[in-house]
Amino acid sequence: MTQLRIENNKGELIKEVPIDVGRVLLSQLESHDIEIPNACRTGMCAACMCKIVSGSEHVIKNLRGEPAFPL
């Protein structure tokens, strides 16, 4: 398991949660009562996009959405 650190826009810690890098992040965050804006649940609309500060080497970059949306 990897620890995910969630910060506000000032870099202040909001919450740390364990995540499995092999599972969908959105559903894991929801299981920890963390609400992330979302619409399509498949990565197509980009409503759930967030900034990765570090650890991006663990991100599986096989997006199923539109190629115009950067990861």
Give residue limits of the domains in the chain: 2-53
Q: What is the pTM of this model?
A: 0.66
Which stretches of the chain drop beneath a pLDDT of 50? none
Contacts with 59 (C-beta within 8 Å, 6 or more apart), sequence order:
21, 52, 71
Give the per-residue pLDDT at 42: 76
| Displacement of CA 58 from its chain's centroid (Å) | 11
Give the per-residue pLDDT at 31: 93
Distance separating alpha carbons of residues 65 and 40, to the nearest angstrom: 10
Give the per-residue pLDDT at 33: 92
pLDDT in tens, 33-44: 988 888 888 777
